[in-house]
Amino acid sequence: EMAAARGGAARGGGAGWRGGGGDRGGGRGGGRGGRGGGGFGGARQDEGPPDTVTEVGKVVHACEGEVVIDACLEKVPYFNAPIYKKDKTQIGKVEEIMGPIHKYMFSMKTSDGVVATSFKAGESVYINPIKLLPLERFTNESSAPRGGARGGGRGAPRG
């Protein structure tokens, strides 16, 4: 009876651990990906401007304190990726990506002190090319290795 109880406890422990892992996993998707990822990115971005920047799109208009940008690249920017002017001054971060996959737009949350309405329509904005994901990450998730678009994408820039 003791052994059975111990076995049950071990199994229960396993389930509990797995359950805990599951909960944590849920948290990881939302929490680490969304919030934590932003946190890591934030710490990194303060190191200064990147070596090169690529044009990522043109300003469409300001909306509710954010700037809507019509993307011109096939690759998709990371959530929270910093956005720059041509001179590599950071002006904001990618907030939300929207629209059809081959003609997407994204909103940019401006940095402190940057006024969304100060941008002119048609003005180009730039991104660090390292902060872009290939479109395949979103189109055929079955072939994406670790955990599809999110997991694999998040881990890549860190290492």
Per-residue pLDDT tens over the stretch 44-59: 445 578 999 999 999 9
Determine the residue type at 4.
A
Q: Give the end-to-end CA distance of the chain in Å, rounded to a whole number.
A: 50
pLDDT per residue as tens digits for the range 103-141 = 999 999 999 999 999 999 999 999 999 999 988 877 765
What pLDDT score was predicted for residue 157? 54
Q: Which two tokens stand for residue 20?
A: 């805990």
113 vs 155, more confident: 113
In 45-152, beta strands by DSSP E: 54-63, 66-71, 76-77, 82-84, 90-98, 105-110, 124-127, 132-133
